[in-house]
Chain A
């Protein structure tokens, strides 16, 4: 479960998030959408414990990301927007380090790395340094790092950056499977066609405010797809 309770974030005079309230129960894929600068990544960074909220509360699996941060992080798999990885390492070395930091059982780390790399068709590159990998390959490794410890809550910030069609398909199947296993997926993106297909519920963010929430079909007018519906709503909100 993931909860945002009256969550606000200010940078000086600039309001980045304004009293956001939402709850994502286990087994749900929640799409968190909005135009550039709406506050999606700020929300993700607060949930991952990188930023402290100005007021309000954020919880992962019932643990506060401010006061009980280690327990919250243990339950969270985070894929940042930047897709940052340590490129001087090989996938085995990097994912091995991630496994050690999550204190996974030493014997289980190797097979889990191989399983994830096989899922993203990267097994032959397991011992190659990642600084010569393509952008898509690096993003796949970032995915593997987020999934390695089989987190209870998956926090994905623009997770399809650079992925090819085959990988996008793998990801879609994976998200459905994760939700079916009773895990929570929080998916932030501005690519609305994929959100429409994958997410059970969508929260619409505009200038730091949650202006709508519901099933994709409920947010759309007659004959509208999610993209058209949300662009219309953003325009209605004014400049």
Chain B
């Protein structure tokens, strides 16, 4: 082996690190139990293309091409910069233990990581820009070379902003809690992605069709990076021409220097100490757990099913996968209700309400099967609990989860449009519908909670169940609109029947019953 120089960039090591990061980043994970692929990271491509497409209504509000380009750059820079979230604690620790113990110089690491970030960002930025660029070309006749330069500059600007964002997160993680900072970063990303279409929507709602937006008379816009990206090319002279170029170059160089600092050994060691010292306290229990605790104190939840429900809700609150998916469902629900309130319309009433509620339930029903520590589900198999009690626990956790966030939001969106008595009946019908749907689903096919490693992408079976749930929910809502009271009575009867069915099946087999009981 040749002696290494910490100040030199070793090309061979850079190539090895790039290959390693590519394999780690782009290869699909596999279920350790079944060996089945869990969906590759490239599944993000359709999602980001879709998010890019959702930006077009915003661009349609622009008076001219420059304003549209600034709008597009703002949205793409915001979304893409936030996609870099610090790894989970275990992943981060493993990475540091494997890579930071090898004889690799700081500059070599810095270059390999910067190139890897650029590579991933290029995919995200391209997907987000593509639909909007196509629209700009076909509607505003923006030339393709201009769009290409715009794309490259957006990519480099996004790279710089991404480094600033990651550095901020890591600095906060060193002072606060690593996991809390990750959760906050995930929530911000999810909210930004899901609300990216909102500016165009609001603009259209608030203004007349022929009143279009222009950033020509808004000097504060010039002071922000999206304007620099748009104004950094073209021909001209003078300070106004060079200022955006200089600003963009300064941003990029500053970010590179910051990236260089975050890959220094000193910084890596500090990060490793932060990771090794996770806070012993887990913070306040989630809203769902507090609701479950309240139900337990009131005697409405007890026995093994309460334990199962608590276990599911704890795992779902602390695991990335479940947290992100549920967060996105709730943000969507919030947006729906927010839109309904803003427009002053009872948007949520009628068949779509039932469909939406039921589809949410179906998604959460699928989600409770997942856990990043699926191997730990043996405790549910080994404990002397009857299968029906596990199902009852799953149903309880889902009801608590739904009625802690999504349910109240739905109610908030719908109730103002109903008379008091009908509103009360509707509320009862909604609760009974969720209860009955879950009971039926769990009787037909009882899940093994937390026993499946999380999968990526969309799955046909989940979509079919969601569609089936949605149809049933929609039909129930339609029937309610036609004859409210008989529907409530029927739902109540069905709930009582299903409750007894679960209770009958919940009796412990004799061999498992406590002695002398």
Is A188 interfacial (CB 8 A cutoff)?
no
Instruction: Kindly supply a per-residue 1/0 record for chain A positions 40-52, scoring 1 wherever the CB is within 8 Å of any chain B CB and 0 otherwise.
Output: 0000010011111
A86 close to B98 (CB less than 8 A): yes
Instruction: Kindly supply a per-residue 1/0 record for chain A positions 104-121, scoring 1 wherever the CB is within 8 Å of any chain B CB and 0 otherwise.
Output: 100000000000000000
Q: In the complex, what distance in Å separates the CA atom of A166 from the CA atom of B19?
A: 34
For B20, what are the chain A residues with a Cβ–Cβ distance below 8 Å?
Answer: 86, 89, 97
| Minimum CB–CB distance for B12 against chain A, Å | 6
Set B1, B99, B269: member contacting A51, Cβ < 8 A = B269
| Minimum CB–CB distance for B452 against chain A, Å | 15
Set A45, A49, A103, A131: member contacting B2, Cβ < 8 A = A103
Is B265 interfacial (CB 8 A cutoff)?
yes
Is B97 interfacial (CB 8 A cutoff)?
yes
B100 close to A70 (CB less than 8 A): no
Q: In the complex, what distance in Å separates the CA atom of A104 from the CA atom of B276?
A: 31
Q: In the complex, what distance in Å separates the CA atom of A132 from the CA atom of B29?
A: 10
A74 close to B4 (CB less than 8 A): yes
B30 close to A84 (CB less than 8 A): no
| Minimum CB–CB distance for A24 against chain B, Å | 18
Instruction: Kindly supply a per-residue 1/0 record for chain A positions 42-85, scoring 1 wherever the CB is within 8 Å of any chain B CB and 0 otherwise.
Output: 00010011111000000000000000011101101010101011
Set A52, A78, A85, A103: member contacting B269, Cβ < 8 A = A52
Is B507 interfacial (CB 8 A cutoff)?
no
A100 close to B13 (CB less than 8 A): yes
Is A93 interfacial (CB 8 A cutoff)?
yes
For A11, what are the chain B residues with a Cβ–Cβ distance below 8 Å?
Answer: 273, 277
Instruction: Kindly supply a per-residue 1/0 record for chain A positions 142-180, scoring 1 wherever the CB is within 8 Å of any chain B CB and 0 otherwise.
Output: 000100010000000000000000000000000000000
Q: In the complex, what distance in Å separates the CA atom of A14 from the CA atom of B276?
A: 14
Is A98 interfacial (CB 8 A cutoff)?
yes
Q: Chain B residue with minimal CB distance to A66? A: B265
Is A129 interfacial (CB 8 A cutoff)?
yes
Q: In the complex, what distance in Å separates the CA atom of A98 from the CA atom of B19?
A: 12
B29 close to A101 (CB less than 8 A): no
Instruction: Kindly supply a per-residue 1/0 record for chain B positions 41-60, scoring 1 wherever the CB is within 8 Å of any chain A CB and 0 otherwise.
Output: 00000000000000000000
Set B4, B30, B272: member contacting A50, Cβ < 8 A = B272
Is B103 interfacial (CB 8 A cutoff)?
yes
Is A88 interfacial (CB 8 A cutoff)?
yes
| Minimum CB–CB distance for B55 against chain A, Å | 33
B24 close to A101 (CB less than 8 A): no
For B23, what are the chain A residues with a Cβ–Cβ distance below 8 Å?
Answer: 86, 88-89, 93
Q: Chain A residue with minimal CB distance to B273? A: A51
B1 close to A84 (CB less than 8 A): no
B265 close to A103 (CB less than 8 A): no
For B17, what are the chain A residues with a Cβ–Cβ distance below 8 Å?
Answer: 101
Is B16 interfacial (CB 8 A cutoff)?
yes
Is B449 interfacial (CB 8 A cutoff)?
no
| Minimum CB–CB distance for A102 against chain B, Å | 6
Is B102 interfacial (CB 8 A cutoff)?
yes
For B24, what are the chain A residues with a Cβ–Cβ distance below 8 Å?
Answer: 86, 88-89
A84 close to B13 (CB less than 8 A): no
For B380, what are the chain A residues with a Cβ–Cβ distance below 8 Å?
Answer: none
Is B411 interfacial (CB 8 A cutoff)?
no
Q: Check A131/B30 contact, CB under 8 A, given A86-B98, A103-B2.
A: yes
Q: Chain A residue with minimal CB distance to B91? A: A84
Is B27 interfacial (CB 8 A cutoff)?
yes
Is B86 interfacial (CB 8 A cutoff)?
no
Set B10, B27, B97: member contacting A82, Cβ < 8 A = B97
Q: Chain A residue with minimal CB distance to B2? A: A103
Is B303 interfacial (CB 8 A cutoff)?
no
B27 close to A88 (CB less than 8 A): yes
For A50, what are the chain B residues with a Cβ–Cβ distance below 8 Å?
Answer: 96-97, 100-101, 269, 272
| Minimum CB–CB distance for A105 against chain B, Å | 9
Most B Cβ at <10 Å: residue of A69, A80, A86, A103: A103
A102 close to B269 (CB less than 8 A): no
Q: In the complex, what distance in Å separates the CA atom of A102 from the CA atom of B288?
A: 50
Q: Check A80/B97 contact, CB under 8 A, given A50-B272, A131-B29.
A: yes
Is B214 interfacial (CB 8 A cutoff)?
no
Is B6 interfacial (CB 8 A cutoff)?
yes
For B12, what are the chain A residues with a Cβ–Cβ distance below 8 Å?
Answer: 100, 103
Q: Chain B residue with minimal CB distance to A100? A: B16
Set A74, A97, A102: member contacting B19, Cβ < 8 A = A97
Residues 218-245 of B at the A interface (beta carbon under 8 Å) = none
| Minimum CB–CB distance for B504 against chain A, Å | 41
CB-CB nearest 10 A-B residue pairs: A100-B16, A84-B94, A73-B103, A101-B102, A74-B103, A70-B4, A80-B97, A48-B101, A97-B20, A70-B103
Beyond the given A48-B101, A74-B4, please list 4 additional residue pairs across the A-B interface where CB-CB is below 8 A: A80-B97, A86-B24, A103-B1, A104-B1
Query: Would you mind naming 22 contact pairs between A and B with Cβ atoms under 8 Å apart?
Result: A50-B101, A51-B276, A69-B6, A74-B3, A82-B94, A84-B98, A85-B98, A86-B24, A88-B29, A88-B30, A89-B20, A89-B27, A93-B23, A97-B19, A100-B12, A100-B13, A100-B16, A103-B13, A104-B1, A132-B32, A145-B98, A149-B1
B interface residue numbers (CB < 8 A to A): 1-6, 10, 12-13, 15-17, 19-20, 23-24, 27, 29-30, 32, 35, 93-94, 96-105, 265-266, 269, 272-273, 276-277
